[in-house]
């Protein structure tokens, strides 16, 4: 198990399902896509629309493409 990132800040959070522990399975708030008090993730940083996250429960670290703002995907083709 990894330690919590030393730069993790409780004030910078995101509500995204953890791909490792899936702790949101039985949560009514998460099922309705509401921010609950238990299943938030540390938002360590971001690069454009890619969020760099850590789960405080299982300490898994991963990147999540939010699709919001400037994406890192291929540029749009001209018409």
Residue-wise pLDDT tens digits, 6-63: 989 999 999 999 999 989 999 999 999 898 999 999 999 999 999 999 999 999 999 9
**DSSP letters for the chain:** -PPPPTT--TTSEE----TTT-TTTT-HHHHTTPPPSS--EEEEEEETTEEEEE-TTT--EEEEE--SSS-SSPPPPP-
Q: Give the residue with greater pLDDT, 26 vs 76.
A: 26
Q: What's the pLDDT at 70?
A: 58
Q: How far apart are CA 77 and CA 60, in angstroms?
A: 36
Bridge partners (DSSP) listed for residue 46:
51
Residue 79, pLDDT > 50, answer no
């Amino acid at each position: 198990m990894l330690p919590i990132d030393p730069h993790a800040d409780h004030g910078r959070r995101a509500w995204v399902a953890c791909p490792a522990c899936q702790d949101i399975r039985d949560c009514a708030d998460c099922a309705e896509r509401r921010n609950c008090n238990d299943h938030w993730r540390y938002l360590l940083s971001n690069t454009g629309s890619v969020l760099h996250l850590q789960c405080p429960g299982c300490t898994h670290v991963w990147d999540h493409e939010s699709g919001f703002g400037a994406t890192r995907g291929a540029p749009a083709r001209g018409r």
